[in-house]
Amino acid sequence: MAECIFCRIIAGEIPATAVYEDAEIFAFRDINPAAPTHILVIPRRHIGTLNDTGEEDRALLGRLLEAARVIARDQGLVAGGYRVVMNVGEGAGQSVFHAHLHVLGGRPLAWPPG
């Protein structure tokens, strides 16, 4: 997916501030943060949206959530609370069509979100 900005970040073509990575997941700071801590957690393999996953992605989806938990802990967000969000589709606010989680924290977060 040469045109996907997240694929280009993973490939090192676009700089990003990495905070976590392993063989299947890459996480980096959002360049337009919605909270003091705003980290994007993405699979290294291109998946457009949650709707594009299947049974074969079950373990990967669990690892994305586990990575979000580890990142929240490492960023000092556990005591104050944090939010993990996945927008699915344009109507829900997804602007980059490479499935990803947002880890947000560092300030009180209102509900509903928007």
> What gap in Å lies between CA 97 and CA 58, rounded to an integer?
19
Check: CB of residue 16 under 8 Å from CB of residue 42.
Answer: no
Whether 46 is catalytic: no
Contact 39, 75 (CB under 8 A): yes
Active-site residue, selected from the candidate residues 38, 46, 100, 102: 100
Catalytic positions, please?
Answer: 100
